[in-house]
A and B are shown apart, each in its own frame.
Chain A
Amino acid sequence: MTKITMTVNGKSYSGEVEGRTLLVNFLRETLSLTGTHVGCDTSQCGACTVHVNGQNVKSCTMFAIEADGADVTTVEGIAAPDGTLSTVQQAFQDYHGLQCGFCTPGMIMTATKLLENNPKPTEHEVREYLEGNICRCTGYHNIVKAIMAASGQEVTPVAAAE
């Protein structure tokens, strides 16, 4: 076992891990931060996306030891401390960017990073950036719409959101 320390959502955590412990296992099982989901466990779906030192990565495809000393943000760290949703989170709610919600943590983490790097993306850029995030429910249209809206661009409202 190896002792590792990392900052997660602004708080420092330490724990003992095996070589094979994945970052997502450390977050979910050791730190009980279960907002980060495991969808496929084969590096395809992006449900496990978190930010490590400011970069979006698939936490099912990184060993926890590789994140020793890193600054990690999970979906739990996106809303304000008082629970106010971030612009991206609020837009997902307003534009029905989720149905079952399983892919949503990864979608939020990826969309948040996209808008940091590219504050006014085109719809095409949004769709390309979401290539590694799979949703089995929504058909993506409302996810894309939510992200466009979160970037402050004009979108048509969804019927049920009136």
Chain B
Amino acid sequence: MHNFELVKPTTVEEAVAALQGDDAQPLSGGQTLIPTMKQRLAGSEQLVSLTGIASMQGVTISGSTITIGGATTHATVSAEVAATYPALSALAGRIGDPAVRNRGTIGGSVANNDPAACYPSAVLASGATVVTNSREIAADDFFQGMFATDLEEGEIITAVRFPVPEKASYQKFEQPASRFSLVGVFVAKFADGVRVAVTGAGEDGVFRWAEAEAALSANFSAAAVEALDLPSEALITDLHGTAEYRAHLIKVLTKRGVNEAV
């Protein structure tokens, strides 16, 4: 790994200032960034650690809104939202393994927007809001394709705000070696309709399955999904599975999600 300077600010303002530097990048849990830096696929002159910023830690629940600090670990999210948003808790509690969950954070996962990551599906299916140091971004505008987001250079995700659905479920078909999702489907039922977001499958990263949303909003049952046919055109084919296989999994997992939503 190339050497760099690591700074550890204690406020968002200091972190934003430190990121103005020429070649600076945020470091959160490091569970994606450190492995990529070891492979020299990433690297900066300066890393700005977000883990010492108190205002970016923890979960606040008020009414039917959950606000999660950007540097909150997967383990903390899983524990704190278990009663209020069980599907989100289950998602966070199945990311990687216990040691990864003790370091990895929601802000890092959402900013990275790995096409097989779990959190983007929850953010998109919940219609969550990504809060940064300078603005608020709706989930529908935030994800812009594989590893691409609406974040500007030096912009920090300080929190993610979730409306709590009536019922939801995250169904992850795990790729057993990486423990990422081969396909993951997040189904969220709100009073005014159903949202379905799919990860692990789209060539442009996480996406909403509009036909399933329409069918489930009219009739929230697995049978409503049965009649649908998801085209495999824009889906990923790799050594783990073809686009057709992924299309099949999406349908199966969506049905399971509907049946198991809580």
Residues of A within 8 A of B (CB): 2, 18-20, 22, 41-43, 46, 49, 55-58, 61-63, 65-66, 68, 110, 113-114, 129, 131-133
Contacts and interface: CB of A to CB of B under 8 A. Distances in A.
A61 B3 contact: no
Given A2-B6, A66-B49, 5 more contacts: A19-B5, A58-B103, A62-B34, A65-B6, A66-B6
B51 A43 contact: no
Given A42-B35, A66-B30, A58 B100 contact: yes
Q: Is the interface of B mostly helix, strand, loop or mixed?
A: mixed
B145 interface: no
A20 B102 contact: no
B33 to A, nearest CB: 9
A125 to B, nearest CB: 11
Contacts of A18: 3
Interface of B: 1-6, 8, 27, 30-31, 34-35, 37-38, 47, 49, 51, 75, 96-100, 102-103, 179
Q: Is the interface of A mostly helix, strand, loop or mixed?
A: mixed
B72 to A, nearest CB: 14
A41 B38 contact: yes
Which of B1, B5, B6 is most buried by chain A, counting CB atoms within 10 A of its CB? Answer: B6
Given A18-B3, A57-B103, A63-B6, A113 B98 contact: yes
A124 to B, nearest CB: 14
Nearest to A52: B102
